[in-house]
Amino acid sequence: MKGLLEVPEAKAVRLVETGRLTVAQRLHYKDGRETADLDLLATEEPLEIHLGGIPIAVVMRTPGNDAELALGFVLGEGIVESANQIERISHCSEGEHGDNVISLIPRRGFEFSPRAVQRDSYLTSSCGVCGKRSIEQIFAACPAIIDRQIFARETLLCVPEKLRAKQEAFAHCGALHGVGLMDTRGALLCVREDIGRHNAVDKVVGWGAKNDISLGRCALVVSGRCSFEIVQKALMARISCVVSVGGVSSLAADLATKGGITLVGFAGDDRLSYYSVPEASA
């Protein structure tokens, strides 16, 4: 992972200006040294797709090539049979979220049933479900967490090794995500695997609820990257610390900050990067 200052300036500026990357502050801990600097996160924002003036879905994506994404979506979902059925694709020119709303205008004679194609929930960057359709409601799932659990750095540094050791199926196929619930001593209370990271999160949260575990005293540990839906699921479960073996998205960091969640990325190899609420850990 390269920090902002290590990326060639011209390239970094171009990627930030086009919206593909977002500049974020972090508290970086590596080899016993702590530094506050800037980092580049993969941008994650919602894109609301309209067909014939009717909102049919919201997908979480990295901005760029939105018209291709929208067209590919309606083709892949079987909503249209051919690109020739679409006359024009353009972003909405009005409103605060105009860049995140795209409209497909069908050619005359094309008919579809709005009820048949509308989605009742968001489609996220990893195909999970994470909320209601309106963009304005994306951060309104529940109030911020005030009573946060503190996790020692030494505990978080051991996360990747412990999680990988518990991923039994991954060891054989390499194609499953792992998610765990960890207590303040660093013990993994539960680890679940799934082809979808969001499904694995649901599994461990469900296990915790079924076994009357105080989720607010646990950390959610995820393999790979951490995107919006993971933080939202943690917020809904009132889990105040999310630790990712990989990087984090811009929207994940934003929601974690708003939601009072300590968000840690790139855990392991004697390093941690805090992207929100760094004072919650020591």
Summarize the confidence of residues 235-246 as an average pLDDT.
93
Q: Is the pLDDT of residue 40 over 70?
A: yes
Question: What distance in Å separates the CA atoms of residue 32 and residue 232, rounded to the nearest whole number?
Answer: 31
pLDDT digits (tens, 9 = 90+) for 141-164: 578 899 899 999 999 999 989 999
Question: What distance in Å separates the CA atoms of residue 165 and residue 47, rounded to the nearest whole number?
Answer: 37
The neighbouring-strand residues paired with 45 are 61
Q: What CATH code is assigned to 45-124? A: 3.10.20.10
Summarize the confidence of residues 240-253 as an average pLDDT.
94
Residues annotated as catalytic (active site), given as ranges? 127
End-to-end alpha carbon distance in the chain: 23
Residue listed under structure tokens 């500026």:
13
> pTM here?
0.78
Give pLDDT, residue 95: 58
pLDDT digits (tens, 9 = 90+) for 157-216: 999 899 999 888 887 778 888 999 999 999 999 999 888 888 889 889 999 999 999 999
What's the chain look like in SS3? CCEHHHCCHHHHHHHHHCCCEEEEEEEEEECCEEEEEEEEEECCEEEEEEECCEEEEEEEECCCCHHHHHHHHHHHCCCCCCHHHEEEEEECCCCCCHHHEEEEEECCCCCCCHHHHCCCCEECCCCCCCCCCCHHHCCCCCCCCCCCCCCCHHHHHCHHHHHHHHCCCHHHHCCCEEEEEECCCCCEEEEEEECCHHHHHHHHHHHHHHCCCCHHHCEEEECCCECHHHHHHHHHCCCCEEEECCCEEHHHHHHHHHHCCEEEEEEECCEEEEEECHHHCC
The domains of the chain are located at: 10-40+141-280, 45-124
Q: What percent of the chain has pLDDT over 90?
A: 39
- Domain 10-40+141-280: CATH superfamily is Cytidine Deaminase, domain 2 (3.40.140.10)
The pLDDT confidence band at residue 273, using thresholds 50, 70 and 90, is very high
Give pLDDT, residue 47: 87
Give pLDDT, residue 20: 84
Q: Is the pLDDT of residue 72 over 50?
A: yes
